[in-house]
Structures are given as structure tokens and as C-alpha cells.
Chain A
Amino acid sequence: MTDVKRPVKLSCRNLWKVFGAGAEEFMRRSNGAASAQALSEARLIGAVRQASIDVHEGEIFIVMGLSGSGKSTLLRCLSRLIEPTYGDVNFDGRDFLKASDTELIEIRRRKMGMVFQHFALLPHLTVLENVGFPLSVQGVPKTELKKRAQAVIDLVGLKGREHHYPRELSGGQQQRVGIARSLAVEPEIWFLDEPFSALDPLIRREMQSELMRLQNVLKKTIVFITHDFDEAIKLADRIAIMKDGEIIQIGAPEELVLNPATDYVAEFTRDVNRAKVMSAQSLMRASAAGGQHAGKVDAKAKVETFAAAIVGANLPFAVTDGNGRLLGEVTPQAVIDLLAGRHVKQAQP
């Protein structure tokens, strides 16, 4: 998905959120560039510092970082739940920070959806009423509201629970309601702030698959926040890694694994199952002229999908692009090295 450049849906440039007295004034004086030391000397907290990201249409953009690294604050700035202290946010090519209150309400009503870590369901409403709530504040007529809410409830697999109250549902089911509710308005951009962190590991995995299933159908632009690197790898088209309020690297999972920008990133990627992350492309070498190939793989296929076959065949596989054109080959040895965790260097095609 990343290779075809899609238009940018949401972006920010040199975005700052600084907490503390006189933060605005401080950032204006330092012209949008303050060191961590200068901030702490001024007794300010730089929750988000000089963040710049582009989120493309239809991609899953993941912000990953440990607790307290500023992920939620970044998301809240992007959605203007809080006002950034400095910097720009663009949404649909327009300056989002300039949107008036009424415009903001309008944009949120029609174009944005958000899922929360602790579900944020309204305790006094049933599942159906919760899901219909964003529609009802827009004044959608009752019958249509019911129809649309029911449709998303069916989509997330909660048919039959429409008239339950949140407290009667399990955590996983509650988050399904949260997801259905955020989808009810058919948003263009979908924010999820650690949506699965409060769930048990088993349920979490199930919900991750569910999200992928939904995304295959809906193709939303997604900004997803997590502190779980495995989750990030599993879902992401691209990942931004945050530390102490700064984004230290942005890239596809493969890039992070292959070329970690800092030791901090390397530390995260060390225990990752590479066969799941790396594609044929990244192990590919130039095809020897007239060399024999036991099979054919797509350049984007993950190693995991053909590892057994290639090791069994003990012959290189041809690597082809989407149109079946030969790009190069992958050798069984390269796959074995990768599986054994030996250092892999990116081969030049």
C-alpha cells in the first residue's frame, strides 16, 4: 500500500504541546524550537515536541511508544481535543487549527470517529442508543438512525445485543460497541487510542483480526495508538515511534526492523519475529542469469508465507512484481539465516 503514493489526509508539521504556565509565550519566543533542557528549566512539560507526520488516505498509521511518551497528547492535538501549543495541523488540505467552533463540530460529526481505551460508553444508554448517539446529536431522524446503527452493530458482530446496557457486556463486546459507535457516522478518518490495551491477550488478538477484517471492507484512514510493538507490527502500514514526546522514526515495519534509527528502536525490534515482518523483496538478490527457480513469490509476500516451501525445495524462488515481471530471487539460505536470527543486510535489487 505504501508504494503507491496516495493523497495525504491528515498531517502535522513541527507540532508542539507544552504543558505549564506560560507555555504559549515560551514557544512563541523560541520560534518553535526548544531543547528538552530549555523546557525543563522553564518548568514546562513538553508532552509532544516537533512532531511532523503525514497520514495518507486508506493507510493504517500507528503511533507506538511507551506509556507517557505523548501518544495520546499527539492524537488529542490532531483531533483538536486540546489545542496544540505550536505548529500546524492540516486536514483534507485545510488548516485544521483555523476551523471555527461550528466548523469543528461539523467536521467531527461527519468526518471523524474515535475509539477510546476505556470504551467511553454512556452507561445510561443501550447498545443501540450508544451507537446511534453520534447520529442523534446530528439530528438524524429516528427510523434512519435505527437503520444505520443496526447496520454497524451487525458489522461488528453484536447482533442480538442491541438492547443490552454496556455493563451487561464483556470488555471485548464493549469495545465492539465503541468501534460500532465510531463507525456509525461513516467517518473518513478513524482515531483509535489504545483501543485494545484494556482487554485480555486472547480477546485482544481476536479484536486485532476483527479490525483488519473491518479495514479490508471499509478502507478508512486510520491513526492507531498502541504501546504494544507486536500489535503495531501486525496492523501497521507505517509506524511512528515516540519517545519522551518526540517522534524518533517513521517507517514501515520492515524498515524499522532493517534500519532502526536509534538503539531505542533497535531494542524494540530485536525480539520481533522477522519472518512475519520481512517480505520477499527485502531478502531478494539479483537473479543469476539462467538460474533455476523452484517457485515464484510476490515481492510483497512475507517470508513466513513461503519459508517452509523454499527450505523444502532447497532451490531459489523467483521474485515477481504485481504484474508477474521478474525482479530477482530469494535463496533458501537467506531465509534460513533470517529464521535463525542471523544478521540480515538489506540486499540491493
Chain B
Amino acid sequence: MTDAVLTHSDSRMGALPGWRVAALVAGVVAVALAISWIVPGGWDYPTQAIIPFAEWISAFMQWLKATFTWLTRGLADLVNIPLQLAIGFLAKGYRIYLTEGFITLPRFSWVGVCAVAAFVGYRFGGLKLALLSGLSFLAIALFRQWDSAMLTLALILVCVPICVATGLLVGIWGYLNPKANRVLIMPALDLLQTIPTFAYLIPMLLLFGNSPVSALLATGLFATPPMVRATVLGLSKVPQDIKDFADMAGCTRRQKLWRVLVPSAKPSLMLGVNQVIMLALNMVIISSMIGAGGLGYDVLLALRALKVGQAMEAGLAIVVLAIVLDRVSQAAAQQRPEQDAMQKPWFQRHASLIAILAVLLVTTLASLGLPAFGKVPNEITFTTAPAWKAAVDWVTVNYFDVIEAVRITFLLYVLNPLRAFFEGLPWLGVVLLLAFAAWRLGGIWLAVIVALLTAFCATTGLWVQTMATLYLCGVAALIAAAIGIPIGVWASRSDRVEKVVTPFIDTLQTIPSFCFIIPVVMLFRVGDVTALIATVAFAVVPAIRYTNHGIRQVPHELIEAGTAAGCTKRQLFWRVQLPVAMPEIMLGLNQTILLSLSMIVICAMIGTRDLGQEVFKALSKADSGKGLVAGLAIAFIGIIADRLITAWVDRLKAKRGLA
């Protein structure tokens, strides 16, 4: 393998020398442009030829709504039961209706919840996690975010078990039935994970109204896919020996599944649970637009009213909540059963649970007599909002000119021309070019799929918006890569740098996308520049992570072989490490693009003019047809990018004998 890699690194573009590749590309581009010019309607898609997908979908949704009211009602009522319980106990107090009037059970005391948070942290991760978790909850209480945070938490607590159970069952089905997995489940997951979050909201809004139930279901759709993937992967990864053992022990199929396979796959499954939690939090925030309420709603309201301080505070509360949930669920995933646990009587085995319930009960009872336990007393809370506002004001007063100059220059000389260029591209030419690239990279089927998906964006009359999205997403991904890859390279070459970078990107990755917008908006106000900066900050993580990882895992023998062959350090990097790490770096780039796309769409809230804006507008009008079509167009951009890059990576790997 050593030799293969060293020789192949010189022929990166296959057998063709550089200038012939360039000529080929130029030729193909020219031909594509020429065809678009010649074919009538090949440049700008003719309005009269627009296929009314949007109207069809709207009609279908109306029919669905009318026909299945009983089903949606039933589902809503069903989901509402645990939801009201959770909201009641954590946030608002639970009402029990009697024959006449009702009694309200008090919500859990904030003191008790903080104590429980600390205790759970301690149970899974020792003193350090106890402090992190307990103090974070305390901070949320003291910064006056308690009510909203508990509402958000309630939604997550109800949503996560539902997602996990659903994901587990679907994943098991996929594992047991590889064909269904390949043709149905995996493509559906791809689609679910690339459709922008807003687009989920619309059909939910239509079917279930503006309510926490809609928010919950949208969140479920968005957060379940990683659980399915983790389940399929985890079950497949159970060693063959263990599967054979189950058969030889005479397990029935059910026993084999539930008593052998699922428990053996637990580490993978728990990783899935962690991802579900993080995605659920992310989505619950976004779902605040359709009635979820909670912290996301606070941010949204504050941003709309340009109340910088409030937005920042609520945003920080989200971040804190996210970090706690992430760390605690990761620690829980690494929990192993205690030795001798089964020997103890039940009340010792469930000691933690009993303690938690006792703490909640005692503090909540106490809150009946002591109001300070029920509601965080105003005297001990404080707000940082004025400080944030003052800081922003100060920056604005002192640096307004500089910031404005940077913003305007960037907008006028870089972004606007690029946007004009992209929006001016002929749809037919782009379809042809992408199909050609797909054909070269992955064969005829990929070409057909790519052509169809691209054509969808044009035939629905959304070509200009599609190109605007592509431009924003492309620029953001490019900048993120240009920042992230060098940092990744740097981290890979120095353990010290890696040590600094890792916790930083871990935290960045934990923060819900929504929160990136807040600080940027304060300084740069709304518009493309803000969207770009927020997107880059959000999407830079995988570029760093994959690059670092890819270079670090270059086999040691290769480097030694290179050194023995007399490579300088520089040559070693450019001709051995980088080429070998290339597939991994490309995968990072792929992730960066997908993250950029999802973020760009959210930036519709701050006034970008692209597909995201279409979805956003549709959301405010509850127009499911328009919203879904624009959402699909966005998903298709993601899918095309993903497929092309994956095909390219596969080819790179095959060529290097690494596949």
C-alpha cells in the first residue's frame, strides 16, 4: 500500500495532465452555455411552463387535513397527555379538572430541580459534572430565564423518549430487513435530514394548528433520524460471535433481538440518544415559531423587537441548557452497570430515583408555604440585559464607521457581484453541467438523479431563489473551509493546539444553530453579511475536526516510508499526508456544506432573499405547498452536494486502494 499511495499522489487528476483537464472543463462549460442559449427557454425558465407542484401539494394537504381530522385530533390528544403533564410539573402547574372547577398542583420547586440537576450530574459524572449541571440550572434561575427554560425542557423530556423509541423500532426494522433499509429507510432519512427545519413546521402547523403538539411532532420528525441510523449501525456492528451465540443458546427471534442484540449494541444506541437530545433542543427552539413557546420564543420576540440584551440572555440560557444536556447524556452513555447491583434489594437499586423524587416532593411541598421556593424571588435575580445593550451601544458608537465600512465593502464588491453572477446562470446549463459532473464521478444513474433534482428547482419556478441559496451557501462553505482546514492542519501538527481547539469546537457544536445569529445581528444588523458570518461560525466545526482527524490517522509506516525516501517535511505534508487524508477532509467539507445549508435557511429570519425566505414566508401564511416545494428544493441542493462529494471521495479512495 505504501508504494501505491506514493506513486498515485503524483497523478491526482487521473491520467490527464493539468492543462487538458482545464481545457476539457472549459469545453464542457462552453457547450452547456451554448445549449442553454440555443434552446428556447433554456436560460430563464419560462413562467408559463412552471409545474404547479406547490398547488398540488396544498390541495393534497387540504384533503389530508379534511379526511384525517379524526386521526390528527386523536394523535394530538394522545401526545398532549404527557406534554401537559411535563409542562404542568416543570413550568406551569398541573391542573386537575374536577366535576366543578379544578385544582392546580404546584409545579416542581426550582430549588428542587436545581438540586436534582446537580444530583443527576453527580450520579453520571462525579463532582465536576454535578457542579456544571447544578450551577447551570441555578444560573438559569438567577438570570430570570427559569419559566421559559423549563417549558423548553419539558418539551425535550417528552420528545426524546418518543424519538428514541420510534428510532429504535424503525432501526430494528431496517436491520432485520436490509432491502427495506436500502430502498426506503435510508433515502427517507437522507431527505428528512436535509429538508430545512422550517419546512417541517408548515405541514404540522396545517394539520395540528399552532400548538406545542405541532412543535413536538416537528421536533420528533427532525430528531429521530440519528437514532434510526445509530440503531441500524449498532445492531450490525454486534460481533458475529455474539449473534451465533444467541442462536446456539436456542433463543427465539424475539429473545435474540431484545436480550442479546439490543443490549450488546447499547454503546452505539446511547450515542444515538445523545444526538437525538441535541437535535431535539435545536428544533424545539426553532419550533417556537409554531407555538412551542419557551426560550426560543423569547429569542424570537426579542430579535423582532431588536431587544439585544434580552435576546442575548435567552440565547445564553439555551446554550447553557444545551451544554448541560450534552455532557450529562454523554456521561450517561458511558455508564456501566455497577458490580453486584442485582444482589441488592430493590430500594437500594433504585436509591437514586427515590432520592430524586423525595427531593422534588419535599421542596415542592415547601414551596406551598415558602413562596421563595415556588418562584425565584426577584431580590436574588439579576439581569445582564442592560449590560449587553450598553456593550453593543458602545461598540456601535465607537466603531460604527469601521463595521459599516467593512460590511458595505464586502457586500458591494464581493457578495452582490457573486449573487448577480449566480442568479444569472442559465438553468439548463447548470442542469447539464451538474449531470456531466455526476456522470464522470458516479456513473449514469447518479447523473440522472442529479439532473432530475436540479430540474425540479427550475421547473417549480424557484430558480433564482435556488441560485441565491447556492451562492450564500457556497460562499459560506468556502469561507468556513478556508478557515477550518488550516486550523485543522495546524491542530494535527501540534498536540497543544489540538488540546485548545477540541473543547472549543465541541462547545461550538453543542450550541443550537439559532443562537449563532444573535451576537452577529447585534453588530452587523440584518442582511447577507450577518447570515454569512453566523453560518461560517456554525459550519466551520466539521472542517476543522475532519481535517485534524484525517491527517492524524495517516498510517505511521507511510510517513516513515516517506522520510526514508528522503522527503523534506514540506514534501511529506504535501505529497504524503495531505493526499492520504484527502478523502477524510472531503467528508468534512461535505458536512460543512450541509451545515451551511441548514444555517443559511434559518437566516431567512434575518432577511436573506433565497429559498429559506420562501419557506419562511410560506410559514407565516401557513402555505404548505409553497413551503414544502421550497423546502424540497433546499433538500435537493443538499442531496446533490452530498452525492457528488461522496462519489468523488469513493473514487479517490478506490484510486488509492483505501476503499
A contacts, CB < 8 Å to B:
76, 79, 81, 105-110, 112-114, 116-120, 122-126, 129, 133-134, 137-138, 163-165, 167-168, 191
Report the Cα distance A110→B248, complex, angstroms. Answer: 10
Q: List 15 A-B contacts (CB under 8 A).
A: A81-B244, A106-B250, A107-B250, A116-B244, A119-B241, A120-B244, A122-B242, A122-B264, A124-B337, A125-B263, A137-B259, A163-B342, A165-B339, A168-B339, A191-B248
A107–B250 Cα distance when bound, in Å, is 8
**B10 beta carbon closer than 8 Å to chain A:** no
Chain B proximity of A27: nearest CB distance (Å)? 24
- Inter-subunit contact A105/B250 (CB<8 Å): yes
Contact among B241, B247, B337 with A118 in the assembled complex (CB-CB below 8 Å)? B241
The size bracket of the interface on B is 20 to 34
Q: Is the CB of A120 within 8 A of B250?
A: no
Select from chain B the residue with minimum beta-carbon distance to A123: B264
Which residues of the other chain, B, contact A76 by a CB distance below 8 angstroms?
A: 244
Q: A81-B247, A137-B255 are in contact. Are A165 and B241 (CB under 8 A)?
A: no
B262 nearest in chain A by CB position: A124
Rounded to whole angstroms, the CA-CA distance of A116 and B248 in the bound complex is 11
CB of B100 within 8 Å of the partner chain: no
Inter-chain contact A112/B248, CB cutoff 8 Å? yes
Across the interface, name the chain B residue whose C-beta is closest to A125. B263
Contact A120 B245 (CB under 8 A): yes
**Are B252 and A79 neighbours in the complex by a CB distance under 8 Å?**
no
Question: Which chain A residue shows the least CB distance to B247?
Answer: A81
CA distance A137 to B246 in the complex (A): 10
Please state if B342 and A137 are interface contacts (CB–CB under 8 Å): no
Q: Residues of B at under 8 Å CB distance from A?
A: 239, 241-242, 244-245, 247-252, 255, 259-260, 263-264, 266, 336-337, 339-340, 342-343
Q: Interface SS of chain B: helix, strand, loop or mixed?
A: helix
A129 near B263: Cβ-Cβ < 8 Å: no
Return chain B residues, CB-CB under 8 Å to A191.
248
CA–CA, A117 and B336, complex, Å: 24
- B339 touching A133, Cβ below 8 Å: no
Q: How many A-B residue pairs have CB under 8 A?
A: 71
New A-B contacts (20) at CB < 8 Å, excluding given A116-B245, A126-B342 = A76-B244, A81-B248, A108-B247, A113-B248, A114-B248, A116-B244, A120-B245, A122-B263, A122-B264, A124-B263, A124-B337, A125-B263, A129-B342, A133-B249, A133-B259, A137-B249, A137-B250, A165-B336, A165-B339, A167-B336
User: Once the chains bind, are A120 and B342 in contact (CB under 8 Å)?
Assistant: no
The answer to whether A108 and B249 touch across the interface, beta carbons within 8 angstroms, is: yes
Partner among B241, B251, B266, B336 whose Cβ is within 8 Å of the Cβ of A137: B251
Shortest CB-to-CB span from B348 to chain A, Å, is 14
How close is B257's CB to chain A, nearest CB, in angstroms? 12
| B residues less than 8 Å from A81 (CB atoms) | 244, 247-248
Q: Give Cα A167–Cα B334 distance, bound, in whole angstroms.
A: 14
Neighbouring B residues of A165 by C-beta, 8 Å: 336-337, 339
Enumerate chain A residues within 8 angstroms of B259, measured Cβ to Cβ: 133, 137
Contact B250 A108 (CB under 8 A): yes
A81 to B250, CA, bound (A): 11
Distance A129 CA – B252 CA, assembled complex (angstroms): 18
**4 pairs of A and B residues whose beta carbons are closest in the complex:** A109-B250, A120-B241, A108-B250, A134-B249
Most B-side CB within 10 Å, residue of A76, A113, A124: A124
How far, in whole Å, are A36 and B466 apart by their CA atoms in the complex?
A: 59
Partner of A134, one of B250, B264, B343: B250
Q: Which of B242, B244, B252, B266 has the most CB of A within 10 A?
A: B244
B residues less than 8 Å from A122 (CB atoms): 242, 260, 263-264
In the bound complex, what is the Cα–Cα distance between A163 and B340 (angstroms)?
5
Please pick, from B241, B248, B249, B266, the residue contacting A124 in the complex, using a CB distance under 8 A: B266
- Cα separation A137 to B259 with both chains bound (whole Å): 9
**Distance A81 CA – B240 CA, assembled complex (angstroms):** 11
Q: For the complex, what is the distance from the CA of A185 to the CA of B339, rounded to whole Å?
A: 25
Task: Report the minimum CB–CB distance from A196 to chain B (whole Å).
Answer: 15
Q: Report how far A110 CA is from B263 CA in the complex, Å.
A: 24
